[in-house]
């Protein structure tokens, strides 16, 4: 992983990103709202270490669990469900 788990950064993510649905421990923001974006960046930069570590662990767990195999299985399951519905 690219983060130091002893002193991790905070993920600031557009609420419009597809990953926003998965990565709920990120700080989600509308990138078009520049005032709110600045507030969220400030929050990320001043967030206490314990909270940063909790968020980092939660994000890491999601990424480790919902890997490419998870995505493939879910995509094919959803595709099968669509095909059954159109028969």
What are the sequence ranges of the domains in the chain?
12-86
Q: What is the pLDDT of residues 39-75, one digit of tens each?
A: 999 999 999 999 999 999 999 999 999 989 998 999 9
pTM of the model as a whole: 0.78
Q: How far apart are CA 78 and CA 33, in angstroms?
A: 34
Tokens, residue 56? 């980092």
Mean pLDDT of 2-14: 89
DSSP state of 21: G
CB atoms within 10 A of CB 30: 12
The confidence score (pLDDT) of residue 84 equals 72
């Amino acid at each position: 992983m690219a983060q130091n788990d002893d002193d991790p950064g905070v993920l600031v993510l557009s609420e419009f990103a597809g990953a926003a649905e998965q990565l709920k421990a990120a700080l989600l923001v509308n990138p078009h709202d520049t005032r709110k974006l600045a507030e969220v960046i400030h929050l990320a930069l001043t967030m206490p270490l314990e909270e940063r570590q909790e968020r980092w662990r939660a994000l890491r767990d999601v990424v480790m669990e919902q890997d490419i195999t998870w995505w493939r299985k879910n995509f094919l399951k959803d595709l099968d469900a669509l095909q059954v519905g159109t028969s």
